[in-house]
Amino acid sequence: MRESSGMILVTGGLGFIGSHTVQALLDAGEECVLVQRSSTEPPAGRFDAPVAVERADITDLSALLDVGTRHKITGIVHLAGSMPWPPNPHQPVEATRTAIGGLLNVLQAARDWGVKRVGVASTIGVYGGVGGDGPLTEDMPLPMSSGHLIPAFKKIGELLNDHLADATGIEVINYRISGIWGPLEPHGPLFFAAPELVHAAARGTEPDLSPLLAPAYAEDALDLCYVKDAGRAIALLQLTDRLNHRTYNVASGRATSNAEIIAAIKKVVPDARVDLPTGGTTPPRHLDITRIRQDTGYEPAYDTERAVTEYLAWLRAGHER
């Protein structure tokens, strides 16, 4: 690990993945400054060490650069979304310009501050349309098309990051993040069923999976990564002295089915009403994590049972999400 004489700036540091990443950085002995558009104080109990919070919008370059006049920034973890989300059907060009401008502002700030490494959140969604079987590796060719706005902009971001890394000499690292779930999860069953299955068990109700784009089945499987593992992986990618690649999968390295989630839930809540019908056609693909293992020593600490048990305890302790 590198010894830090400054602070790690985290955009979106009070968000879902951001909060757990900040805690992992704090656990590693780092100091953090969080850039948020609205909040200036972290919720009580969010972190177990002090953090600085600056109110600034990354789409406002002058406001972002001003943060560097008050803090010595030595690294950046960019987890705020550089994409027009939610979509603006009335001003699509302006929204696109703003979204990409936010990413460029972060990299401009890194250059002005002399930051050597910037990490940028990407997504498992960039692999959409990749054929074949077996694990998804970072060196696979990706289709130019995309079925959704989010992976489309993440692909654009990865290409820009690669260009600007060459042009500026900044080490820009892409995090291809898989299905993240756990405490503070904000989406519910928007992308996959697991969070709502746990929430339903904690509430004592049947799960409401209506937001899913397709019906959920017991055999549906996805690379689910518990958010504390994801936060620690991102912290390792920021702090490890030498990285040999520009793109890393941040994942569990295995496909977890809904049936496994349900079995783990019923070990804690035997009468949970979370069963799903059999069937499903989702290919059980997962992300290969060989790169991050070799370069940082990362290993997932949460198997399915440990993740479910802790998540249920968190919700039953009175947390809404």
Q: Between the CA atoms of 65, 76, 127 and 181, what dihedral angle is there, to the nearest 10 degrees? A: -110
Domain that holds residue 281: 185-223+255-285+302-316
Asked if residue 159 and residue 53 are part of one domain, the reply reads yes
With respect to residue 297, please indicate whether it lies within any of the assigned structural domains: no
Task: Dump pLDDT digits (tens) for 90-119.
Answer: 899 999 999 999 999 999 999 999 999 999
Query: Taking residues 1-8, what's their average pLDDT?
Result: 65
Asked if residue 159 and residue 36 are part of one domain, the reply reads yes
Residue 57: pLDDT above 70?
yes
d(CA 30, CA 234): 13
Asked if residue 106 and residue 191 are part of one domain, the reply reads no
DSSP string, 48-116: SS--EEEE--TT-HHHHHHHTTTS-EEEEEE-S--S--S--TT-HHHHHHHHHHHHHHHHHHHHHHT--
Asked if residue 145 and residue 77 are part of one domain, the reply reads yes
Task: Dump pLDDT digits (tens) for 136-168.
Answer: 999 999 999 888 899 999 999 999 999 999 999
Task: Dump pLDDT digits (tens) for 275-289.
Answer: 999 987 666 789 999
Size of the chain, expressed as the number of residues it contains = 321
* Residues contacting 132, CB < 8 A, separation 6+: none
206 against 40, higher pLDDT: 206
For helices 194-203 and 304-316, what crossing angle results, to 10°?
A: 50
**Taking a C-beta distance cutoff of 8 angstroms, is the pair 104, 112 a contact?**
no
Query: Taking residues 208-230, what's their average pLDDT?
Result: 95
Is the pTM higher than 0.85? The answer reads yes
